[in-house]
Amino acid sequence: MGALVHLICRPSLSFPAQACQFQPNIGGSSGSRPSELPKDLVMLHRRELLQGMAAGAGAAFGLSLLPQQLLAANGTSAPKRIIFFLQNQGFDPATCIPEGMKTSGSLAGVKLPEPISPLEPYKDRMHIINGLHGMHTSPSHSAFFGALGGYRGGDGVPPSAATIDYELSKVLPQTLLPHLCIGMDSIENMTTKPTLATLSATGAGQPIFMHSNPNHLYQMLYGGISTGDIRRQHEARSNLLNQIESMAASKGESLPSQDRQRYGQYVQGFRDVNGLRGRLETVSDHLRKFAPDVDSRYTKPEHETDWHDVLLDLGISSLTSGITNTLTIGSGRGEIFGAWKGLGIDQQGHNLGHMEQPGNPIWIKIRQYNSRMLVRIMEELESVPEGSGTMMDNTLIVYTSNNADKQHTSGANWPVMLLGNFDGAFKTGCFTQLDGKRPINALYTSLLHAAGAPCDRFNMTEQLAKKFDSGNGPLKEVLT
């Protein structure tokens, strides 16, 4: 039994076993949330909504509606979604700021730097921000959970609060899987540690694990609609998880109270996984339209970038199908490793962080690869009609690094690129130069404001703000 629990709930090697308590929520958390209906009623409402969609309720509106669109059609706010893409080893501002731009201005008459040149056709949808800081996160090699949490992080340090991606997943329209995290690394790391928690969290000491093995993720999302070996493996895994849940629930009562509480968290995790599988099967006909084709890149990858590419496909399909509306992508998985041999780059891991990024052909390849991924996301979302426009019209992509501007950094400058406008909430087609006195928390406050959950500060006390934040509330420079 212990071996099976470890297999399903494998914690990061940097964390004690109890830090795995939310891992079975794998990439997202379901369950009751503040100021919402009780969990049973929420799940009943969601199940009825999806069953209606599967039965053809969308036909009443004249098109095949996604779960978010059904919510919008029922009179709720626009079905917004958000994507975080974090590249490790830092994001040097010289690789994204057009040459000669020293002050804020339009991107219309300038040329983007070579590392992000694939985004040139999308300048009118872009907002480059320079001058935020994250000194209070003590990033060094990485800020880990602090990058999206806006608090002090470190290798092996559990999260001290929820991260912005999770907080946004709570206020955006409800989906089958509120939050999905995927992580890209070397084949060796993705194989030996298919799940890892370094970037996202639901709360203090409650990490969210990211998926790195596309075969496992495909089974979780689309195993119920597959055939052949994938279907057989999915059914075997489902039967095993059901048995584990049942056995764990009955055996845990005999444990001491402290262990019983922790054991109960594992049991709830299995219930969440099994519940997600059931909800996905409810809309199987709908999901068949979006499931990516499985090819040799899944089972016989030539390079790690094959797995990076299919992981991205799965992430995109989870958005376009309506499975989730919050996606976090960790290229390098929030650590100091990573490999891109498929791009012709022999160097990997920590050494990449010791290279200057501007003008470096290695980093130009990596950053252009990222940029092409961003283009793929935008093109796919642009191809799906939504309301009077497309899914991309209601989406925001946040691209940055988990350790500010470089590998060994104080966090004094934390460049960010935004793509999309979140249903008109963010300015686009421009570059904004800030004075270095506002933290990344201010950007996260802006995201919450745009999502309909305004606040003065995100994960920053007044005492901490006196030292690290010259302002209050969202960044007026980025919102419309």
Contact 88, 334 (CB under 8 A): yes
Share of the chain above pLDDT 90, in %: 65
Query: What's the mean pLDDT in 245-259?
Result: 59
Query: What's the mean pLDDT in 159-179?
Result: 95
- At 349 the pLDDT is 87
295 found inside a domain:
yes
Query: What's the mean pLDDT in 205-223?
Result: 92
Distance CA 395, CA 412 (A): 28
The more confident residue out of 120 and 224 is 120
- At 247 the pLDDT is 57
The more confident residue out of 130 and 36 is 130
Mean pLDDT (the chain) is: 82
Q: Which of 13-22, 127-136, 466-475 has the lowest mean pLDDT?
A: 13-22
- Reported residue count of the chain is 480
244 found inside a domain:
yes
Contact 211, 23 (CB under 8 A): no
Distance CA 67, CA 50 (A): 7
- At 470 the pLDDT is 97
Q: What is the pLDDT of residues 323-353, one digit of tens each?
A: 999 999 999 999 999 999 999 999 998 889 9
Query: What's the mean pLDDT in 346-365?
Result: 94
The more confident residue out of 53 and 219 is 219
480 found inside a domain:
no
Q: Residue 411: is its pLDDT beyond 90?
A: yes
Q: How confident is the model at residue 259 (pLDDT cuts 50, 70, 90)?
A: low
DSSP 368-407: HHHHHHHHHHHHHHHTSEETTEEGGGGEEEEEEETTTTSS
Q: How confident is the model at residue 226 (pLDDT cuts 50, 70, 90)?
A: low
Q: How confident is the model at residue 126 (pLDDT cuts 50, 70, 90)?
A: very high
228 found inside a domain:
yes
Q: Which residues pair with 207 in a beta bridge?
A: 201
- At 227 the pLDDT is 54
Q: What is the CATH number of the domain that holds 353?
A: 3.40.720
Q: How confident is the model at residue 260 (pLDDT cuts 50, 70, 90)?
A: low
The more confident residue out of 65 and 417 is 417
User: What is the distance, to the nearest Å, from the Cα of residue 39 to the centroid of all Cα atoms in its chain?
Assistant: 24
Q: Residue 189: is its pLDDT beyond 90?
A: yes
Q: Residue 183: is its pLDDT beyond 50?
A: yes
Q: Which residues pair with 203 in a beta bridge?
A: 206
- At 272 the pLDDT is 65
- At 263 the pLDDT is 58
- At 220 the pLDDT is 87
Tokens of 405: 């501007």
* CB atoms near residue 462 (< 10 Å): 10
Taking the model in full, what pTM does it have?
0.82
Q: What is the pLDDT of residues 92-104, one digit of tens each?
A: 999 999 999 999 9
* CB atoms near residue 187 (< 10 Å): 18
- At 15 the pLDDT is 30
478 found inside a domain:
no
Q: What is the pLDDT of residues 431-453, one digit of tens each?
A: 999 999 999 999 999 999 999 99
Q: Residue 85: is its pLDDT beyond 60?
A: yes
Q: Which of 59-63, 86-90, 200-204, 273-277 has the lowest mean pLDDT?
A: 59-63
Q: Residue 202: is its pLDDT beyond 80?
A: yes
Q: Residue 206: is its pLDDT beyond 60?
A: yes
473 found inside a domain:
no
Please tell me what DSSP assigns to residue 177: S
Give a three-class secondary structure readout of 186-230.
Answer: CHHHHHHCCEEEEEEEEECCEEEEEECCHHHHHHHHHHHHCCHHH
Q: Residue 14: is its pLDDT beyond 50?
A: no
479 found inside a domain:
no
Q: Which residues pair with 39 in a beta bridge?
A: none
Q: What angle do CA 463, 464, 467 make, to 5 degrees?
A: 100
- At 90 the pLDDT is 96
Contact 148, 199 (CB under 8 A): yes
102 found inside a domain:
yes
Total domains in the chain come to: 1
Distance CA 376, CA 114 (A): 18
Residue 53's domain comprises 2-468
The sign of the torsion formed by the CA atoms of 427, 107, 390, 280 equals: negative
